[in-house]
Amino acid sequence: MPPAVAAKARVAGSGGWLTGLPGLVAELSREWGVTVGRAFPDATEAFVAEAVTADGTPAVLKLLVPRAGGHAGHEIAVLRLTAGSGCATLLRHDEARHALLLERLGPSLADLGLPLERRLEILCDAAARVWRPVPAPVALPTGAAKAEWLIGFIERRWADLGRPCAAATVRHAVRAAERRIAAHGDDRSVLVHGDVHQWNALRAGDGFKLVDPDGLRAEPEYDLGVLMREDPVELVAGDPRDRARWLARRTGLDATAIWEWGVVERVSTGLVLAAIDVQPLARQMLGAADAISRDATSGP
């Protein structure tokens, strides 16, 4: 069990899930006719392991840490909507047990050692393949609802962790989230992945597919805001606004919306990483958030 997954389970109050995990793996192996192999050591949100189906097809067994919010259902909905185009193909699923069987893909973008700009190009293109209308019967959170949740999460977790970044940084993130709530419109909302980064982009043939979708019905700039939180050391080595402008030019989207989602994601994810002690990345992300809030403007 990767330490980050065990920590996530404890934070989520899912200690019983940890205890029962071997039995759950055995049950699904029998029911789905798969042989489960080694676990992937770099997972953070779920127990993820190699698997092989009865006909010899390589696959991946993913067991999400149970937590409030319907995350398993949202991920399953995204994978069913994308049907292997843009995201990994879903082979089997059991929402009640937070279990998915997925196609096995190649190495992650993070493993390939590509320059930052090339990684951003690949991730922009991968995200764009996910963006599509969401059919009315599919229930996914809106970008506005996610922003409201993030406000409460940031304020609570910041206090619980002993204020690991400046109070001004939290206020800056809350104001940015409030602006995205006000800007939400169903007419611009599409299916978005919600967590587009280099560890979630895996080689698939000549291209890449995304894994671990959060699943939202939101403006597409949300996904690019996630790219604004990543590589925090490189981000603040120059003018952070340059990245938002570059992403906007690459995709034809709005630089201010990208910037504001980045402000929110940088703080919220930094706090998540601090809670499960993913260091030094948590300190780097919150340090970047502090630096940017000290030079805060309404946008790029």
pLDDT value at residue 41: 85
Looking up tokens 């049950």 gives 27
R_g of the chain computed on alpha carbons = 19
* Cα dist from 13 to 4, 128, 177, 193, 258, whole Å: 14, 35, 27, 26, 33
pTM: predicted TM-score of the whole model, two decimal places: 0.90
Looking up tokens 């292997």 gives 84
pLDDT value at residue 70: 84
For the chain, list the domains and their CATH numbers: 3-103 (3.30.200.20), 109-294 (3.90.1200.10)
* 8 A C-beta contact, residue 24 and residue 81: no
Per-residue pLDDT of the chain (300 residues; tens, 9 = 90+): 778 788 888 877 888 888 999 999 999 999 999 999 999 988 878 999 999 999 999 999 999 988 877 889 999 999 999 999 999 999 999 999 999 999 999 999 999 999 999 999 999 999 999 999 999 888 899 999 999 999 999 999 999 999 999 999 999 999 999 999 999 999 999 999 999 999 999 999 999 999 999 999 999 999 999 999 999 999 999 999 999 999 999 999 999 999 999 999 999 999 999 998 889 999 999 999 999 999 876 567
